[in-house]
Amino acid sequence: MTSNKNIITDDMIESISLNMFRVGTKGNNFKILKMLLCNVDDVAKELILTKVPANKHLNELEKCYLLRRVRRTGMAYDTEMTDVFISCVDEIKDYVEANISNMLKNMVIK
């Protein structure tokens, strides 16, 4: 029997992780993560969307394991990864806030 370590490469793990950041920080997706526990109606109302795009956002986040959905109820729940992801983004925000003056000085504006 083959272990997961033999099948899953570091490149695959990096790709999945980067995709998680891309999806989790895209558009309204991060707002949705901070709304959990919610349902599709809550998302649609809060983000001023119809149910179709609200469901699209929820499905995209679910595919990245950033939330868990219960079919037929419309409910979306956090996963273990949701809290880790939000904490990571919050850490980055805290760093930027603490260092914004230096960061702005070093930015090249063209």
List the chain domain ranges.
4-106
pLDDT of residue 72: 85
Question: Residue 2 pLDDT > 70, yes or no?
Answer: no
Q: Does the predicted TM-score (pTM) go above 0.95? A: no
pLDDT in tens, 40-85: 999 999 999 999 999 999 999 999 999 999 988 889 999 999 999 9
Task: Residue 39: name the closest of 72, 79, 76 by CA.
Answer: 76
What CA–CA distance (Å, rounded) separates 82 from 84? 5
pLDDT in tens, 23-43: 999 989 999 999 999 999 999
pLDDT of residue 73: 86
Task: Check if CATH label 1.10.10.10 holds for domain 4-106.
Answer: yes
CA 65, 67, 68, 69 dihedral sign is negative
pLDDT of residue 4: 57
pLDDT grade, residue 16 (50/70/90)? very high
What CA–CA distance (Å, rounded) separates 2 from 107? 49
> The tokens of 5 are what?
């370590």
